[in-house]
Chains A and B, each alone.
Chain A
């Protein structure tokens, strides 16, 4: 297949299946079937795309056949390739989970098309090589996310949605402002072209100002300190499948964009911009993990933990060495699997135990040993226990920090890891280990029969699959390591990216 086809298919496939879902909206079965088929097709095309990128290096295509830098380029390098693949695999898991998790009313209001459109927007953001086009994809992400957050209209959901939308609109406004300023000084918005033109631009002060505007905008979307407050107050409100998708993927997309911008475009004043990033990274880690210590709601703990993990990813970008970026790529991919899985598990715990509140849960380990094992795998991976995948992610980051004697950030990262373990152990002790509270309805037999076996399989299958992935990455880290290594090389040696996009 041609490169241009491979690059557009991850965007086109979800679009087509979203359209099909809308046309067939009256039939629930048709919607569910098209959603699953579409998602499986999505996995197939992203595998093909990743294989091509792995064999040929960076590939680029000019949409509409308008030559770069005038038209919109789609670019696939190893980082975007592995991200698109991860998104496809995890969204298939989410689609399957949704079959048992999303109620009829939400399905009727177009849940599946909206989720498909969200996948499309995320893939667009990952593959585009044009700054303004990226803005448009961000807007599409926001709109689909808005639909998914508010679908179902519960009071709690609307409250979370309003916070989410207002803060993200503000972030988009900043993004647009920065895009305008950048276009004003270089006269181009193709990322490769901008990178070339900024090299010969003398007023670095102005560039740094613009880069910080971008940083604030993406920082809001990635939920870094001190701009993270919207995340813990909106992610626990929608149905579990939706919050798992958001928690797993959306903030990581912002990290991807930060990594792209601060390796390709804004590298004029690394001493300044990347020092800010390092501070942000460290503070985000600490504040996130401390925030989680005070929470006693399953999904709220996990939400605030997203913030803490974002700090690690920023740390990799800020250290700006090949090893550190390798760590970031590894961490991002691993984090998508693990975080999503923990959210999915919280959903099963809620269905079986009847609550998200840790104080009202209990006895899950005794009654559902398998769920306990699945939780342990993901939670220990999050905290960074060997031999699970999270260990390697943190190990590479810490190693990268030690390499360039960044003692403080390494110390912070290690300390935060311990505190992460504390939060995970808290969930374990409360929800899984302690006995059920007295007189809890979940104690009776009828309660356990409330969820049908078919539903339970649909809920558990994605969780088992993601947990297996975590174990496999943990036991054979060399594959993901090799991918991350190549991704980091391509990020650091930016000439390959620029030449591929701008070749005549």
Chain B
């Protein structure tokens, strides 16, 4: 933890910005560079920054869920994306899509998005698990 007022003030501004940017990167991954992995890394950065500015205990507090639980949830999401294809009678991990029309343009929603949410959660959980335990060791 760094006791710096400049960092703390900046963190307040950057925290939300980084989270929004991570969601943007996550969604952008649909057709362009981005996706769950890089989005998850940026998402974890926001909490890591918070941990550096205010201490890991505070950061854990606003994260609500434990990093281990996040990893578990992520794996569950990834598995569910495959199980959906099984329920539809196709082999594991076959992409299943719905394409509703929203406001004149077609929205591509499918199981790969659920998989990517899983990746996002695993990456956030893993990164924060490492960073928190390193910070707490001091």
Q: Chain A residues in contact with chain B, CB under 8 A?
A: 2, 4-5, 8, 12, 15-16, 18-26, 61-65, 110, 113
Distance of A20 Cα from B80 Cα, bound (Å): 13
Question: For chain A, what secondary structure do more than half of its interface residues adopt (helix, strand, loop), or is it mixed?
Answer: helix
**Docked complex Cα distance between A12 and B84 (Å):** 13
* A-chain residues with CB within 8 Å of residue B68 when the two chains form the complex: 22, 25, 110
Q: Which of A19, A64, A113 contacts B94 (CB 8 A)?
A: A64
CA distance A2 to B75 in the complex (A): 24
B92 touches A22 (CB 8 A): no
Inter-chain CA distance A8–B85, complex, in Å, is 12
> 28 A-B Cβ contacts within 8 A?
A4-B86, A4-B91, A4-B92, A8-B91, A8-B92, A12-B82, A16-B76, A16-B79, A18-B75, A19-B76, A20-B72, A22-B68, A22-B69, A22-B72, A22-B75, A23-B69, A23-B76, A25-B68, A26-B66, A61-B92, A63-B92, A64-B85, A64-B93, A64-B94, A64-B95, A65-B91, A65-B94, A110-B68
> SS class of chain B's interface: helix, strand, loop or mixed?
helix
- Asked whether B27 is an interface residue with its Cβ less than 8 Å from the other chain, the reply is no
Residues of B within 8 A of A23 (CB): 69, 72-73, 76
Report B63 CB to chain A, min CB distance, Å. Answer: 15
B89: chain A residues within 8 A (beta carbon): 2
Q: Mark B82-107, 1 if CB is under 8 A from A, else 0.
A: 11011001111111000000000000
Q: Are A25 and B91 in contact (CB under 8 A)?
A: no
Quick one: which of B72, B73, B79, B90 contacts A21, CB cutoff 8 A? B72
B71 within 8 A of A: yes
A21 CA to B69 CA, complexed, in Å: 9
A19 near B91 (CB under 8 angstroms)?
Answer: no
The answer to whether A19 and B73 have CB atoms under 8 Å apart is yes
CA distance A23 to B86 in the complex (A): 24
Known: A23-B69, A110-B68. A64 touches B76 (CB 8 A): no
Closest to A62 in B: B91
Q: In chain A, what residue has the closest Cβ to B69? A: A23
From A18, A25, A64, name the one whose CB has the most chain B CB atoms within 10 angstroms.
A64
Query: In the complex, which residue of chain A has the Cβ closest to the Cβ of B77?
Result: A19
Complex Cα gap A61–B93 (Å): 12
Q: Are B91 and A61 in contact (CB under 8 A)?
A: yes
Q: Known interface pairs A5-B86, A12-B83. Does A19 touch B93 (Cβ–Cβ under 8 Å)?
A: no
Q: Which of B73, B75, B83, B91 contacts A63 (CB 8 A)?
A: B91
CB distance from B127 to the nearest CB of A (A): 15
State which residues 11-60 of B face A: CB under 8 Å.
none
Q: Which residues of B contact A4 (CB under 8 A)?
A: 86, 91-92
